[in-house]
Amino acid sequence: MHILNLEDNVFKHHDICKAIERGSFANLKIECVGNLTDGINKIEDAIKQDNPYDLVISDMWYPEAPGESEKKCGEALINIFRERDWDIPIILCSSVNYRFPEILGSVYYSENEDWESELVKLIRMI
């Protein structure tokens, strides 16, 4: 399973990777980018090479480009997917409990929640 994680917090990215690894998915490869521009470029390159990602996991708040301040780029990513008709599942993993019916699901990233099990459960739906 080839996953792209759009996340600008290295600690949260590490937590997400550990949760996915505990899910024991075969042929697991997780890549991470910290901004929307790099994420879109990686997705486009993977599609052009006929090797699209199996899943994209995105935070809601991260920079649009390197060195910029955080914006609501998770929502922008969802809109880009809709506009370009990309058929790659998206999971939103954020410390705010967002809901978007057009994506695979949302995970509320919180120390008080079992977000890890919820994330693995959503991934198994693919």
Instruction: For residues 53 and 112, give the distance between their C-alpha atoms in angstroms, rounded to a whole number.
Output: 30
Cβ 72 vs Cβ 45: under 8 Å = no
Instruction: For residues 78 and 56, give the distance between their C-alpha atoms in angstroms, rounded to a whole number.
Output: 10
Three-state DSSP at 29 gives strand
For residue 119, give the CATH number of its domain: 3.40.50.2300
The total of structural domains in the chain comes to 1
At 93-111, the pLDDT tens digits run: 999 999 999 999 999 999 8
Q: What per-residue confidence (pLDDT) applies to 112?
A: 87
Residue 119 domain boundaries: 2-123
Bridge partners (DSSP) of residue 57 are: 5, 91
The pTM is what? 0.96
Give Cα 55 to chain centroid, integer Å.
7
